[in-house]
Amino acid sequence: MTATTLFDLSGKIALLTGASKGMGKAMAEGLAEHGAKVVVSSRKLDQCEATAAEINEKCGAGSAIAIACNIGYKDQLQNLVDTTHEKLGAIDILVANAGINPFFGSMSDIPDSAFDKIMHSNVRSNHWLCQMVAPDMTATGSGSMMITASTGAFAGSENLGTYNISKLAVIALIRNLALELGPRGVRVNAICPGLIKTDFAKALWDNPEAAQRANEQIPLRRLGEAEDLKGIAVFLASEASSYVTGQALTVCGGANMWS
C-alpha cells in the first residue's frame, strides 16, 4: 500500500457553522477524523457541546470545541471568529453550512420579512463570515472556504423559490470570492446537496412520494444521508483539491447530472 498525505488535515483549524447536527455534524466529524481541530457552531450551545463531545470521544481530546452563534447577527459571527482565534488559532478551513428557510409556498405569497430573512441569513451572513476569515488565509497564502448551497439553485420551485434564489446567490458569491482570493492562495467552493435525509429537509423527504421518486428517478436509487457529505468536505479542505476553486459541486446521487 502506498502511503499518502493527500487528505491529511493535521494541524489545520476548521470552523463550521450549522454543525451541531445533520450535514454540518457529519462534515465536522469527517474533518476531525482526518486530523483537523474543529469548531462546532450553531445557535444552541448545548447541541454544539454534545456534538463536540462525540467528536472528542471518537477522535481524541481537543479535536473539537463548541461555540454558539446565530449567523444572522454580525456581532455573533465576529465573536465566533475571535473566540476561535483565542482558543485554537488562525482558521485554515471554513465550512459555512448554516442556512434557513422560514417559508414554504409561492413567491406570490412570501412576506417581505421572510424574503429578507432568507437572503440575509443565506447570503449576506456568509459574505460577512468569509470576509472575517479571509485575513487568516491570505496571511499564510493558503486556505479553503466552502459554503453549502443546494441543487435547488439550478431550478425553479413552486414552494421553495426564494430559498433556491438564495442558494444560486451563494454560488455567485463563491465564484466572486474565488476570483478575488485565488491570487492569494485561497480556494472557495460551494457544496450543493440534493435531497438529504436531515431534520432540516424532513418535510421534503418523509413521505411516500419522495421515497418513490428516489427509488425510480435518482440514479443511485436512494435519498442522500448526512454521512454522504463527509468525503466532499475532506476533499475540499485538503490538498487533494489544491487546483479546485470557484466550483459548485453537487452531492445528489446523480439526480442533478442533466442540469
**What are the residue numbers of the active site?**
163
Joined together, the cell numbers standing for residue 98 give 448554516
Contact 173, 161 (CB under 8 A): no
Q: How far apart, in whole angstroms, are the C-alpha atoms of residue 143 and residue 182?
A: 10
C-alpha cell at 38: 474543529
Cβ-contact 28, 42 below 8 angstroms: no
Rounded to whole angstroms, how far apart are CA atoms 28 and 230?
8
Q: Is 78 exposed, middle or buried (0-12, 13-18, 19+ CB in 10 A)?
A: middle
CA distance 78 to 229: 26
From residue 224, how far is each of 109, 147, 233, 236 by CA, in Å?
30, 18, 15, 19
